Structure 1
Amino acid sequence: MESVLISWIMFMSIWAFAAMGYDKSQAKKKQKRIPERNLWLLALLGGGIGAYIGMQMFRHKTRHTAFRVGFFVIAIAYGIGLLYLLGVDLPGLTTA
């Protein structure tokens, strides 16, 4: 089960990263864009890490506080989840 979740998060992160790059490219060309709700949906459904990395790398949506903070929080949550699934000992998150 863990490997399925890890694979899902990786897949969605790659998709969200690509979506951020594509949307930035479309913005530069002033062409049809990806709706913001779709970018949020990709992040929430597992692509938070990729969306945040894409936002930083492509310098896309970085002026929008909701994106900056929201994608960061989602990325941290998925990052902690990945570490947990990978069996990394996280202080304060282990059960006795």
Structure 2
Amino acid sequence: MVYVLLIVNLIAFTVYGLDKWKAVKHKRRISESFLLTITFLGGTVGALVAMLMFRHKVSKKSFLWKFGLVLIVQLVAIIYFLKTQK
């Protein structure tokens, strides 16, 4: 499971970096829904590191709200999973 999360986070980091590069070059962008989906699927850390490192999507409030919602859903799911395992 750790390896899967590592790979998903590397993919998320790469996709966020690629989207930033495309934004700078005025090329066709990666959709926000795809960025949020890869984040939701476990790429939260990679996405967050990329957002901070590349200064990507950090000033877009609507995206940050959605990103925060993804984090909350993940936290609730983790807490629920941990409580049901006891």
The TM-score with structure 1 as length reference comes to 0.67
Query: Could you list the runs of 4 or more consecutive aligned residues of structure 1 that deviate by over 3 angstroms after TM superposition?
Result: 66-73
Gaps of 5+ in 1: 82-92
Residue 3 of structure 2 corresponds to residue 14 of structure 1: no
The alignment-based identity, stated in percent, is 33
Q: How many residues align?
A: 77
RMSD: 2.4
8 Å Cα contact 1:51-1:71 kept in structure 2: no
Gaps of 5+ in 2: none
1:46-84 C-alpha deviation (Å, 9 max, x unpaired) = 10110010000000000122433554673xx57xx6xxx
Q: Sort the Cα spacing of 1:48 and 1:29 in 2 relative to 1 into closer, same or farther, 3 A.
A: same
Q: Which of these residues, 31, 38, 44, is aligned with residue 34 of structure 2?
A: 38
User: Which structure would you say has the larger Rg?
Assistant: 1
